[in-house]
Amino acid sequence: MKKKAFTISLTGNPVINMNVIPGHFTTSHFHLSHYLDLFDLKSNAAIARNVAVELAVPYIHSTPVDTIVCMEGTEIIGAYLAEELRQSGRSVINSEREIHVVSPIYSVDKKLIFHSNVQEKIKNKNVLLLVSSISSGATIKSALECLSYYCGIVVGKSALFNAYPDQFKKEIHSLFTNKDIPNYQMYRPDECHLCSNGYPLDALIISDGYTKMNQ
């Protein structure tokens, strides 16, 4: 698979790039034609800082933010994003404002919840939601339901990758979309064209990596 991999860079900031591997992949919800490696964007401090600068653009001059809620391992980016939003400047609305960076946890019944000492950073606070990728939409839907339950005021939603740019264009600020990846496709398992054309699954996508189906 890796021999077919290619790299896509963000227009205007080539330091931000992701490796893309074509193939036949499955998640718990969908089959995908490509695996997107976002790990470096979230774990490399220098790159994560650049990512935060780009993600701050829609909010820095107009959107008050009290709390950044990070999903799917985006905490490093979230910390840099808070720093970027708090920079000094007369036109920076959150200049030197106190911004908390938090993450929910999963309860025993697989529901997103916040610890009791974190809930006060959500209730009636201006919340910016940060996710790694939007494919099935399940993660962001669960996160929004959780924030609603704890009375958070969602003032912005950002993602590193968004597979639904047309549907969410006005709501979610994304670095990359499916339009950046040639022939990117996502299928329900019972409607997968790759399966119907006899292509075996290459790997199972789990969190920030994948496991090959045939070693």
| pLDDT tens-digit map of 15-47 | 999 999 999 999 888 999 999 999 999 999 999
Work out the pLDDT band at 130, boundaries 50, 70, 90. very high
pLDDT of residue 24: 95
Q: How far apart are CA 153 and CA 9, in angstroms?
A: 33
- 206 or 69: whose pLDDT is higher? 69
- Could you tell me whether strands 172-177 and 153-162 are parallel, antiparallel, or unpaired per DSSP bridges? parallel
Q: Which residue has the higher pLDDT, 172 or 126?
A: 126
Q: Output the 3-class SS for 92-145.
A: CCCCCCCCEEECCEECCCCCEECCHHHHCCCCCCEEEEEEEEECCCHHHHHHHH
- pLDDT for the residue 4: 87
pTM for the full model? Answer: 0.92
Q: How many helices (H) and strands (E) does the chain have?
A: 7, 13
| pLDDT on residue 3 | 60
Instruction: List the one residue out of 170, 105, 148, 157 whose CA is nearest residue 128.
Output: 157
Q: What is the domain-level CATH number for residue 129?
A: 3.40.50.2020
Distance (Å) of CA 43 to CA 48, 72, 110, 160: 7, 12, 25, 13
In the chain, what are the helix, strand and coil shares in percent, each to the nearest 5? 30, 35, 40
What percent of the chain is predicted at pLDDT more than 70? 95
- Which pLDDT score is estimated for 115? 96
Q: Over the stretch 79-110, which tens digit does the pLDDT of each residue have?
A: 999 999 999 988 999 998 999 999 999 999 98
Is 43 in a helix, a strand, or coil? helix
Mean residue pLDDT across the chain? 92
- Distance set, CA 170 to CA 77, 181, 184 (Å): 22, 21, 22
Average pLDDT over residues 138-154: 95
**181 pLDDT tier (thresholds 50, 70, 90):** very high
How many separate domains does the chain show? Answer: 1
Boundaries of domain holding 153: 2-212
CA 150 to chain CA mean position, Å: 21
